[in-house]
Structure 1
Amino acid sequence: MLERSFTVDVLKVVAAQLIVWHHFSAYGPMSDTLYVMWPHWMDGLYEHARLAVQIFLVVGGYLAAQSVMNKPIQQPFVHITKRYLRLAPFYVLALTLITFAVAVSRLTIHESWLPTEPTPLQFLAHALLLHDVLGFEALSSGVWYVAVDFQLYALLIVLCYLLQTTNYRRLSVAVAVLCVASMWQFNRVHELDIWAIYFFCAYGLGVLAAWAKRSKFDMAVFGVTALMAVGALWLEFRLRLCLALVTAVWLVIKPTGMVHWTPMKRVVHRLSNSAYVLFLTHFGVIVLFSDIWNKSRFYDPYTAFALTGFAWLCSVGLGLFLHEKAEVPIHHWVSHHSKQLFLRFSH
């Protein structure tokens, strides 16, 4: 299990860094300056680095499936509420910090990518993870993913609750059917990209990958689903689905076993733990450094490259710091104070 955990850590760290660099290529005056000197590199970051979201989706499904594997779901509302309380508190804090960063930088940044000043209703919709569904403008990059991740987890919990049996075969087949339906149909309809069903092709592959070594039946279910994914790629090739399939297959074939925890592997583990915080907060760093760039009136691409690299290091450092000093304490506080409430629902 330790070996597989390290594999997941590596996937999360790589995906998180790619997403950060995708946003550095998409937003801010520094990216415009870099584009003048290195257009192909910037285009590549913009077009391809964002595909790393598929890795997050597969890993998210994989971890969620491990947390419910062979465990009967008696109170789905409790599980879903716990997930919301795991995601939302720091998410709201991050949005507050980013809103402040945007307000500070509004006088120097006049680009369309800068969010407008939020209304109370807009902020509430974000806090409830309903901003896309209700048609509100996003207050930060990547907030759509948090909402979709919550939808996907809730869908999995409901499936577990409705279809759990002593051998769990019906549940595995249902996940596979929904995953294939997403691959072949729903994932091809871009208007559905605010709903869980659009992304369940990747998330479902992660779920089935986690269950694959539970039994020969589950391995067969994963194998058939993977073949159906190849068929879906033949029907309409999508690089995002291809990456999701490769990630899921890698999680299945990667051998388990003990791992020697070197200092480098511990660093990777810490970066993996802080990936959620990095994902939520780096946009604020981009905003503040864009403000600095505009005020400095620099125009040199090499200066832009150096400052972007420094901003990236600041983003990673801020992620590590806020994970330890904010996310973990907030999570412990919320878990402690909500424990009695969940016990009441369980009886």
Structure 2
Amino acid sequence: MLERSLTVDVLKVVAAQLIVWHHFSAYGPMADTMTLVWPALMEWLYRYARLAVQVFLVVGGYLAAQSVMHKSIQHPIISIAKRYLRLVPFYVFALVLISLVVAMSRDAIHASWLPSEPTVWQFLAHGLLMHDLLGFEALSSGAWYVAIDFQLYALLIVLCHALHTETNKRLSIAVALLCVTSMWQFNRVDELDIWAIYFFAAYGLGVLAAWAKRSTFEAQVFWVTALLAVGALWFEYRTRLSLALLSAVWLVIKPKGMVHWTPMKRVVHRLSNSAYVLFLIHFGAIVLFSAMWNNSHFYDPHMAFALTSFAWLCCVGMGLFLHEKVEVPIHHWVAHKTKPLFARLTR
């Protein structure tokens, strides 16, 4: 296995934990209690830890680009459908789980961040990954990312289908132009943050980073794009874009090498594999532990920190468990059931 795979694992694990802690700092009475003693820490987690999602976007683009690197996309609709079926089954499972936890905790939590009781149409909009586009309230803190990831992947597949050639020069240039356009224009318009084009600045950098070592030309495309990203930052500095740029550059310059597997590296690999599940289910843990805190009538900030740390460990453990016992089996079952259908459609 390449060293870069370990690098991707580390980036995913660190980013996932930062996002979880950001949400612990943003929601719940324990966060309010901890702010009394550690205001600077809680402010940092709230303002900056959320930027780790940019690392997820870069890595998402990097992995998606690797998956299509050595093949032409003959049936884009089928590729997009497979991605949908890869993302949505566990996503719906997580939403059902979180909705049940919210329903059980509603009497103990009276706060604006708690989602309202879902309607059928709201749940359907989530299942179709269109809740933001249709103006429905999110049922979980991670719902928006799943929809954006799907939009970005679909856009990449369409580009690969339309512009694929033997040299891939047209495709690389098109991705770079779309990435630069996002950096200089669309990423600066906050109202567009429900559309893929807003996030393509980071995602596109990940795509170009994956392709950079495929040929000298594509390496040049990446570095020109990176230079234009620096120009975009000079024009209007955005911490999120600078973090995305640094992540993409690191993925390009990190040398190849063989991984000598150790127990610690295997743990990192498992945590990386379960990052998607962790991202989806941790909001339910925040709701559950917030309800427990309110019912217990604790007020000590140190107790709040201890309970939050325990809740975080529970999230990590639940992520590992649900990935292996629920997500993977669901994915295999769905892939097995849909394989004959996709085979007939591609004849």
Sort the TM-score into its range (normalised by shorter chain).
over 0.9
Query: So what's the TM-score if we normalise by structure 2?
Result: 1.00
Q: CA deviation at 1:344?
A: 1.2
Structure 1 segment 16-27 matched on structure 2, within 5 A: 16-27=16-27
Partner of 2:341: 341
Partner deviation per Cα, 1:112-162 (whole Å, 9 max, x = no partner):
000000000000000000000000000000210000000000000000000
Structure 1 segment 48-59 matched on structure 2, within 5 A: 48-59=48-59
For 1:71 and 1:208, the matched residues in 2 are separated by: 16
Partner of 2:142: 142
Structure 1 segment 167-186 matched on structure 2, within 5 A: 167-186=167-186
Amino acid at match of 1:179: C
For 1:255 and 1:145, the matched residues in 2 are separated by: 30
Amino acid at match of 2:220: A
Partner of 2:32: 32
For 2:23 and 2:143, the matched residues in 1 are separated by: 13
Amino acid at match of 1:27: Y
1:197 is paired with a residue of what secondary structure? helix
Q: CA deviation at 1:257?
A: 1.4
For 1:145 and 1:99, the matched residues in 2 are separated by: 18
Amino acid at match of 2:205: L
Structure 1 segment 35-184 matched on structure 2, within 5 A: 35-184=35-184
For 2:265 and 2:259, the matched residues in 1 are separated by: 10
Partner of 2:3: 3
For 2:70 and 2:86, the matched residues in 1 are separated by: 22
Partner of 2:309: 309
1:200 is paired with a residue of what secondary structure? helix
1:14 is aligned to 2:14: yes
2:260 is paired with a residue of what secondary structure? coil
1:214 is paired with a residue of what secondary structure? coil
CA RMSD of aligned residues (A): 0.5
For 1:25 and 1:312, the matched residues in 2 are separated by: 12
Show structure 2 runs of 5+ residues with no match: none
Q: CA deviation at 1:284?
A: 0.2
Q: CA deviation at 1:227?
A: 0.2
Partner of 1:251: 251
For 1:259 and 1:8, the matched residues in 2 are separated by: 13
Partner deviation per Cα, 1:47-88 (whole Å, 9 max, x = no partner):
000000000000000000000003110000010000000000
Partner of 2:286: 286
For 2:132 and 2:35, the matched residues in 1 are separated by: 30
For 1:2 and 1:134, the matched residues in 2 are separated by: 42
Partner of 2:260: 260
Q: CA deviation at 1:2?
A: 2.1
2:269 is paired with a residue of what secondary structure? helix
Partner of 1:219: 219
For 2:106 and 2:54, the matched residues in 1 are separated by: 32
2:140 is paired with a residue of what secondary structure? coil
Q: CA deviation at 1:173?
A: 0.1
Query: So what's the TM-score if we normalise by structure 1?
Result: 1.00
Partner of 1:277: 277
For 1:117 and 1:201, the matched residues in 2 are separated by: 35
For 1:40 and 1:3, the matched residues in 2 are separated by: 36
Moved over 3 A (4+): none
For 2:38 and 2:165, the matched residues in 1 are separated by: 56
Show structure 1 runs of 5+ residues with no match: none
1:134 is paired with a residue of what secondary structure? coil
For 1:303 and 1:19, the matched residues in 2 are separated by: 22
1:93 is paired with a residue of what secondary structure? helix
Q: CA deviation at 1:164?
A: 0.5
Partner deviation per Cα, 1:282-307 (whole Å, 9 max, x = no partner):
00000000000000000000100100
For 1:285 and 1:331, the matched residues in 2 are separated by: 24
- Taking every aligned residue pair, what percent have the same amino acid on both sides? 76
